[in-house]
Structure 1
Amino acid sequence: MRKSVPKYRMPDAPLPANVVKTLIDDEMVLDGTPRMNLATFVTTYMEKECEDLMMEAARKNYIDIDEYPQTYEIQKRCVNILSHLWNAPLGAEEEGTGTSTVGSSEAIMLAVLNMKWAWRKKRIAQGKPHDKPNLVCGANVQVCWEKAMRYFEVEERLADVSPDCLVLTAERAKALIDENTIGVCPILGSTFNGEYEDVQ
């Protein structure tokens, strides 16, 4: 603890785990407290049993379904629960289509790619241009949607919000939609005020 630790390279000798933890804790002490941050999605209480299950799962490479078949089975059950909850179209076996992700950012990336590919496939089948996809969102959209559009070359169409209405409305979205629109992104819990947008 009497020596400084190199910040941008591996130290020459190992350090005790408790020292490393203390140093990192000290560096992060000025970060905001997640449960006091209304702009984040980790402000809710979680039971210890849930945290224990998450820590147990963190050791698994659950994408390897041959090694972790029961984890995969639980994932399929969760997908079906959500499919039924949201009245999604189900397959012949009454099973929904979906996957688990490590968080909402990965889910958003997959959603944007899926919308882009489905739109492109349809446009190709119609013999129409398929090189200028766009996605309609409110200006209150989470930053991950903007990243996904940039990464996957989808035009960003942000509808303005106003002090009296901080969310995307059907009227605001409609003005931005055209034949190249791959989707409209309503938010169930806006980052601005937690408000649910009117999906229907």
Structure 2
Amino acid sequence: MRHLMTVVVTAILVSAVWIFYGNITRSPATSDGKVAPAGDKAVVRPAGEAPMVLAESVTVGPAGLAIPVAGVKPSELTDTFTAARAGGARRHDAIDIMAAQGRVVIAAAPGTVEKLYNSVGKGGITAYIRSDDQLWTYYYAHLSAYAPGLHEGQRMRRGDAVGYVGYTGDASPDAPHLHFAINRMAPGERWWQGTPINPYPLLAGRSANR
């Protein structure tokens, strides 16, 4: 009799465990703090905050910077930092990341949106994001549009959407791309100032052109 009772109690406990586990694994993960699939993206719902959509195609380079166009691989980058512009009057001081118009442009590093500016005839629709330590400014140009709701003073995380690849300003409609620059900032320097450094080796992990 005692043996029979032990078997019955064990069976009840095991069944309860499997029912509980099954409910968890079958329940859609859409409540606060959960992640739910959404095609080729993940919808993240932090507790107490609005959902965030993060592209799964974010690639991080050797220096910890995300390649600022979603889906672009390090091997697809070209070093155009020293290329001549304006008929040789000036150096490019940035790299052009070629991509289809409308491809998502993302923040290469965390920081704060310092300036949103439409530089007609030059960089077109542009964004300047200053790093948290105030030492660097990341410049995104020739955008077709900003990401919805993007505004000056907004805190950005690496991988957050900045805008979309385009050809505004002096870029060619036949070659939409992101003009991406990094500037080293001295104390007191404004968003349009700074000393340019080459983003290519930081993103691609290869030596810069000489």
TM-score of the pair, normalised by structure 2: 0.24
Query: Which of these two proteins has the greater Rg computed from alpha carbons?
Result: 2
Q: Which has the higher strand share?
A: 2
- TM-score for both structures, normalised by structure 1: 0.24
